[in-house]
Structure 1
Amino acid sequence: MKSVACAFSVLILAACGGGGGSEIAGGSNEIKKAAQAFSASSLDNIADSELAAFGNAVGDKKIVVLTEPTHGVAQALDLNARLIRYLHEQKGFDVLLIESGLFDVVNMNELKQSRAIPFTQSAPGRTYYGFSRDAHGQKIFAYVDQTQKTSKPLSLAGIEVMMEGVASTGLFVSRLEARLQARNASLLRDPEWQTYKVIAQRLTSNPEYTDAPVELPAFKRVQELVKAEFCTAPASQESHFESDGFWCRAVHSLSGTMGYVWSKPKQLDYNERGFVAGHNAAWLIDRPFAGKKVIVLTHALHGFAAGSELKTSTGKVLADRYPGQIHTSHITASKVFDPNEATVKGTLEFELDQLGQFAYMSYPADAATRNLLQGSSVREVNFVPQTPNRFGSAYQSLFYVRQVNFTTPDWSGYPTIY
């Protein structure tokens, strides 16, 4: 499966460089008072009691967005696995939505129900490889599997467009056609149905940086007929392959992929993708998981709402739909690309580094401390230093680790199960 964010080499080039900002003049003591050091020697072992401040910051919010500055960061995966466990066990969150294909994760649930295949085994090849083909990311699926044997199983779903998973590339077109046949849909007799199928199959492979086919207008015309078939008063709203409500969102995901890869010549349009992913998440929240408290796990580029570089990020769609109901977390570090990297004075990382290896800070309630933070730099999307930072607007909880490491996918150790 292709990366769902920039390649690490591009990220490193983009994020290297200065991290300076105006010094937090006289503010070190205030920042230290507002922040909390963790005594744990590893992120896996942070005690529930030490996460209580995070839990208090979440409060009674119904949606928590857990972000990664970029994909493939071991510490971000470890932290988010720990936060997922805390939110599920201590705060009553029963649903995990991840940045992976809507269709592919439904196939994972199907494999669990029909063949008892655990998520740890079905995830490789169906979810983003940074989650599924590394021991750090696998902690997330291992915990979800663990909960399936309890009285409070954690539900798992994907929110993304077609991202080259083996389920979407191998099953989408044939199962779509079978579903339409079961409905005796007249559009199957459309003279351009075969053209539609060819282009739909191509889209399931997420054809980034390619030219759009000349038959795209025919595809778009038939696509609207398919949407009308499933999205006009859908008969059912469950998240499985027999649900017309699900197929409505699956077909919209195909449109999202089309907009992502072909709305701009050989460029990627993350706004098109984020719009559909956000509405996929909203459909899951409102329909299959109505009344549940939901965790969304995604890249900060997609998860940030206010202050996002995107006009229609996933986080922006959700914030507009559920005002006042979302709490977003972020993780930063002082040593990202070199263990000898200097921690720059005037950055929030410099202040948090004084507390120890791991620290946490919720957006302060008092105006004086907020004012101290305004001029400081924080490493945000792709660890790029941001001044002014978006603490308080894009995210309300900030976790700090002194040093991060990038993971390497283990393709042979985590093979695809068919």
Structure 2
Amino acid sequence: MKLILSAIFALTLTACGGGSDGGSSSETTGDLRKTAQAFSTSDIDAITDADLASFGRAVGDSSIVVLTEPSHVVAQVMDLNARLIRYLHENKGFDVLLIESGMFDVANMNELKQNRSMAFTVSAPGRAFYGFSRDAHGQKMFAYVDQTQAGAKPMELAGIDVMMEGVASTGLFVTRLEARLQARNAAVLLDPQWSTFKTIAQRVTTNPEYTDAPADLAVFKRVLELVKTEFCTAPATNQYRFDSDGFWCRAVNSLGGTAGYVWNTPKVLDYNARDHEAGNNALWLLDGPFAGKKAIVLTHALHGFAAGSTLQESTGSVLAKRYGTQIHTTNITASKVNSPDEIVLSGSLEFELDQVGALVYMPYPTDAAVRAEVGKRSIREVNFATQTPNRFGRAYQSLFYVRQINFITPNWTGYPAVY
């Protein structure tokens, strides 16, 4: 995962605003700017519910809101998403938060909360994605979820991702899987290659990105299918906890998704394999443990966009096939990405939004002429790379603009894993 952080920075440094203004009339451009709303403050932490009322109207009756991160480890993005989580919970009835972190590891966070009253802010480091859990900006959402636990509407927390080298995955998965199978007197435990499977499964839990596949990968895949059969045939229980066969069905599928992610193609990450299982984890959570509840999904835009993604099957596209128009997806963009002195040219939507304010919200316009004008503009989307044509209106239905962003460095020692 640390390698991903370097890749994010490399991608971001290539991003730049620019292009011509497309010959638009000043009247239409003015209408475009009128569609956008400047907040009453440039301080994200001071945004009021009144500032977010337009966002609330755009969300409407949606039962799922996908909050995207154009890039991980961005202070302003984490601050804004934490504020949106609070708004959606307090004003729109969203009581479930699904985050881009390992499904198995976040289940362990819930277990520690249940058994040891451990706050999510304490259990998150080493279990939730380090960009969320090992920085003060990312910790804001965990602090809010903790705060809700004593209230009338406690938020529920779950991870949707595959095995992402969390301390629960690496320290507990194989042992607990074997114990669960022993309790069922599972025949797979008698397989002559069970020990080979266990060895490779343990390696998979460490998320071995950019490594060579083991020689016995075919053995791992064969035995994995037998394990899936134990848990995925009419599961007796469907809860997000370790005593649930439904949970273990998704856990072993996540193990296979991680293996596909790191080893489908030599030294190349297969995000389709990962997103297929992450999307199905989200479906299982929404259809089963959290059925009937309104949910927030927090993930990178690469995974969250349902349309126009470079992935054949993103987490967002898996959700869209099931829930369609029940989903509202947001994006966040900025103009000062590479330096405070960066100049963004007039062909970008960021240029227009910067004329409105330093912190701006924009729903996808209802007016056809303004939509056409938006369509002419480049927008910084995945990893803040300029996208032309942009995917506003297809991949996401609303947009937040922040003038200046800053990347953070995770504090590994300040936020240690607690066992």
* TM bracket (short chain): over 0.9
Alignment partner, residue 330 of structure 1:
331
Instruction: Tell me, yes or no, if the aligned pair for 1:332 and 1:378 is still in contact at 8 Å.
Output: yes
SS at match of 1:354: helix
Alignment partner, residue 312 of structure 1:
313
Alignment partner, residue 201 of structure 1:
202
C-alpha distance in structure 2 between counterparts of 1:72 and 1:61, whole Å = 28
SS at match of 2:365: coil
Amino acid at match of 1:395: Y
Alignment partner, residue 14 of structure 1:
14
What's the CA shift string for 1:280-330, capped at 9, x where partnerless? Answer: 000000000000000000000000011111110000110111111100000
C-alpha distance in structure 2 between counterparts of 1:187 and 1:225, whole Å = 6
C-alpha distance in structure 2 between counterparts of 1:171 and 1:341, whole Å = 47
Residues 240 and 263 (structure 1), Cα distance of their counterparts in 2 relative to 1, 3 Å cut: same
Instruction: Tell me, yes or no, if the aligned pair for 1:162 and 1:254 is still in contact at 8 Å.
Output: yes
* 1:260 correspondence with 2:278: no
Alignment partner, residue 42 of structure 1:
43
Amino acid at match of 2:265: K
- Cα deviation for residue 5 of structure 1 reads 6.4
So what's the TM-score if we normalise by structure 1? 0.98
Aligned 1:311-390 pairs, distance under 5 A: 311-390=312-391
- Cα deviation for residue 382 of structure 1 reads 0.5
SS at match of 2:230: helix
C-alpha distance in structure 1 between counterparts of 2:84 and 2:181, whole Å = 41
Instruction: Tell me, yes or no, if the aligned pair for 1:21 and 1:387 is still in contact at 8 Å.
Output: no
- Cα deviation for residue 355 of structure 1 reads 1.2
Amino acid at match of 2:302: L
Alignment partner, residue 138 of structure 2:
137
- Cα deviation for residue 41 of structure 1 reads 3.2
Amino acid at match of 2:142: F
Amino acid at match of 1:224: E
- Cα deviation for residue 22 of structure 1 reads 3.8
Alignment partner, residue 84 of structure 1:
85
- Cα deviation for residue 21 of structure 1 reads 4.7
Instruction: Tell me, yes or no, if the aligned pair for 1:120 and 1:141 is still in contact at 8 Å.
Output: yes
Residues 169 and 277 (structure 1), Cα distance of their counterparts in 2 relative to 1, 3 Å cut: same
- Cα deviation for residue 241 of structure 1 reads 0.4
What's the CA shift string for 1:328-358, capped at 9, x where partnerless? Answer: 0000001001100012112110110011110
C-alpha distance in structure 1 between counterparts of 2:83 and 2:3, whole Å = 24
- Cα deviation for residue 6 of structure 1 reads 6.0
- Paired positions, count: 417
C-alpha distance in structure 1 between counterparts of 2:209 and 2:194, whole Å = 24
SS at match of 1:341: coil
What's the CA shift string for 1:121-141, capped at 9, x where partnerless? Answer: 100000111100010000010
Instruction: Tell me, yes or no, if the aligned pair for 1:102 and 1:250 is still in contact at 8 Å.
Output: yes
So what's the TM-score if we normalise by structure 2? 0.98
Amino acid at match of 1:346: G
Instruction: Tell me, yes or no, if the aligned pair for 2:350 and 2:401 is still in contact at 8 Å.
Output: yes
- Cα deviation for residue 366 of structure 1 reads 1.2
Identity %: 68
Amino acid at match of 2:259: M
Runs of 5+ in structure 2 lacking a partner? none
Alignment partner, residue 212 of structure 1:
213
Residues 264 and 25 (structure 1), Cα distance of their counterparts in 2 relative to 1, 3 Å cut: farther
C-alpha distance in structure 2 between counterparts of 1:239 and 1:332, whole Å = 34
SS at match of 2:51: helix
Residues 73 and 211 (structure 1), Cα distance of their counterparts in 2 relative to 1, 3 Å cut: same
Instruction: Tell me, yes or no, if the aligned pair for 1:97 and 1:297 is still in contact at 8 Å.
Output: yes
SS at match of 1:322: helix
C-alpha distance in structure 1 between counterparts of 2:85 and 2:107, whole Å = 20
Alignment partner, residue 180 of structure 2:
179
Residues 303 and 104 (structure 1), Cα distance of their counterparts in 2 relative to 1, 3 Å cut: same
Runs (4 or more) in structure 1 with deviation over 3 Å come to 1-6, 21-25
Alignment partner, residue 283 of structure 2:
282
- Cα deviation for residue 376 of structure 1 reads 0.5
C-alpha distance in structure 1 between counterparts of 2:21 and 2:285, whole Å = 43
SS at match of 1:7: helix
Amino acid at match of 1:20: G
* 1:291 correspondence with 2:292: yes
C-alpha distance in structure 2 between counterparts of 1:415 and 1:3, whole Å = 20
Instruction: Tell me, yes or no, if the aligned pair for 2:17 and 2:348 is still in contact at 8 Å.
Output: no
Instruction: Tell me, yes or no, if the aligned pair for 2:125 and 2:415 is still in contact at 8 Å.
Output: yes
C-alpha distance in structure 1 between counterparts of 2:20 and 2:205, whole Å = 44
SS at match of 1:50: coil
C-alpha distance in structure 2 between counterparts of 1:118 and 1:13, whole Å = 36
